[in-house]
Amino acid sequence: MQRLYDFLRRHPTWVDSFWAVVLLGVQGVSLAASGPEVRNDEPSFAAIPISLALGLVIALRRRMADRMLVLATVAGLAQVAAGVQVMPLDFAMLVIIFTVAANDQRWASRFGLIAGLCAAPVAELARLTGPMDNPSTLGKVLVTVFQMVPFALAWVLGDSLRTRRAYFAQLEERAARLEREREAQAKVAVAAERARIARELHDVVAHNVSVMVVQADGAAYVLDAAPDQAKKALETISGTGRQALAEMRRLLGVLRTGEQRESGEYVPQPDVEQLDELIDQVRAAGLPVDFKVEGTPRPLPSGVELTAYRIVQEALTNTRKHGGPEVGASVRLVYFDDGLGLLVEDDGAGASDEAYEEGGSDGRGQGLIGMRERVGMVGGTLDAGPRPGGGFRISALLPLKPAH
């Protein structure tokens, strides 16, 4: 049954042709039953071509509605002129008015409405030229108005269907637009998440691998002369590697939604309170760091705390990379009423211009790019560059209000 319904929907002209044949059959039976004569005792031969024309109107109403409207108008005028009585196929006039009103061709819709409303008065005027049965004038008016109602009703139904279709088309277009917007937002969110994971991986790998490299070099240097120090360096390498692995598992876990995570498999997200551990680790790697906290410490938004931790981590990593031998660093953490200030300085050789100008070139300066992206996400400001007299300075101000 569903296949038949789908077939009929794909071939509407066949359905209309079927009903045209049915009405032509009813018309033939009606002509046969009415006898060979009509008004004025004239043969009813004129009813045959008019019936065929109206049948064609029904059959092709959806393929060429405007042309069928003109054909129906001509057939109606011919019926009035020939004095043919009202017949079943006159129903085609109501059908074509409904069809053109349901379409988007406004001129055809208006023409159909006017022609339909004029049909009854024209037929009544033609009837006045024939034999009169002297009905009252009021009766004529009432009959004419009553005959105009079906045409007006057909047009109203068709126009309502057109409005309903336009409304549903607008809803579908709106739904499609919203779907496109959702897809675009999803792509932006995916890109932002990828950038965040890339920043996290860079910070984790750059910092921890840098510590491991320094400790490995130190262990190799003192392996024979001071085995205890070499053993301590190897323990630091082991601990740093485990920490890096745990953080990388935490980051990769973001991509494994729906998988069951074992308790304690991933370390918590770093915050300001873990800066002491970070600086102790850096000191153990051989970089002297002076760390001070000013103001009253208090809980901060997680995004601000993670940003502050990563800035200090990346800055100290850069100091080890570019500072040269016998470099020292200082870290200042300042709590303001409306923000958190960071100042990381070193007295080393500093970084090359390409590492911090124009966002870093040739793949360099990725850490500073990540810093600026992090600070921008929380609505803060970052300044990075060489210090007067030597060394490098990174200062940041992180507001406590969310960025808009």
pLDDT tens-place string over residues 137-151: 777 778 888 888 999
283-335 pLDDT per residue, tens: 887 889 999 999 988 888 888 888 899 899 888 888 887 777 788 899 999 99
Share of the chain above pLDDT 90, in %: 20
Q: Please compute, for residue 316, the number of CA atoms within 13 A of its CA located in the half-sphere on the CB side.
A: 32
Q: 395: pLDDT confidence band, cut at 50, 70 and 90?
A: very high
Burial 229-261 (b: 16+ CB within 10 A, else e): ebebbeebbebbeebbeebbebbeeeeeeeeee
* Strand 392-399 to 329-335 pairing: unpaired
Alpha carbon distance 374, 166 (integer Å): 47
Nearest partner of 400 among 346, 322, 341, 356, judged by Cα: 341
Q: Edge-to-edge, what's the strand order for the sheet holding 289-294?
A: 289-294, 329-335, 339-346, 392-399, 381-386
How does residue 362 score in pLDDT terms, banded at 50, 70 and 90? very low
* Domains of the chain by residue range: 2-134, 271-404
328: burial class by Cβ within 10 Å (0-12, 13-18, 19+)?
middle
pLDDT score at 204:
66
38 band by pLDDT with thresholds 50, 70 and 90: very low
Reply yes or no on whether the pLDDT at 35 is more than 90.
Answer: no
pTM > 0.75: no
Q: Quick check: 88 and 30 in contact, CB under 8 A?
A: yes
Domain boundaries 271-404, corresponding CATH code: 3.30.565.10
The band of 71, judged by pLDDT with boundaries at 50, 70 and 90, is: very high
Mean pLDDT throughout 92-120?
Answer: 89
Q: CB of 86 within 8 A of CB of 76?
A: no
